[in-house]
Amino acid sequence: MDLEARLHADHGDELRLWLRMLTCTQLIEQRVRTRLREQFETTLPRFDLMAQLERVPEGLKMNELSRRLMVTGGNVTGITDQLEAEGMVQRVPVEGDRRALLIRLTPTGRKAFADMAHEHESWIADALGGLSPREVDTLYKLLGKVKQHLNQPHTETTTETA
């Protein structure tokens, strides 16, 4: 049962929209997780970690990976250990800091990620295939307005009662 099943007739349009967006996000994410597992024998957290490393070819420190992925250092360490054992990433000493290591994709990891990223993009396009290009553009712009609003400093609004 999806999240929209929780709605009642008296719920406002904003709540309905929120639950619709959340439901769509969860359905797309589940489809991506399934396809990553079936086609590449990997997980979404591994894909996400590799995506961060692909964006920074020189590599990232573990704490920066944790921050970018919004997970604990232990989670990043476990995934990194697995990917390193498979030859997908390597740990490289940081010049001038004997304790620090950079994590970076190996050439094998870069190729594997490129293959996964190409498929991932087609899965997302397929998931949104029910929308015309114009509708995609409109939805993108509208969600951009929501994002901009949410990034503004929060001010409390109060309703005055008579």
Q: What is the pTM of this model?
A: 0.82
Residue 84 CA to residue 131 CA, distance in Å, equals 40
As a whole number, the mean pLDDT across the chain is: 89
Contact 23, 2 (CB under 8 A): yes
| Domain 12-149, CATH | 1.10.10.10
Low pLDDT (below 50) residues in the chain:
162
Q: Please report, for the chain, the start and end positions of each structural domain, with discontinuous segments joined by +.
A: 12-149
In the prediction, which pLDDT does 5 show?
A: 61
What is the pLDDT, as a whole number, of residue 75? Answer: 87
Q: 2: which residues sit within 8 A by CB, 6+ positions away?
A: 23, 26, 27
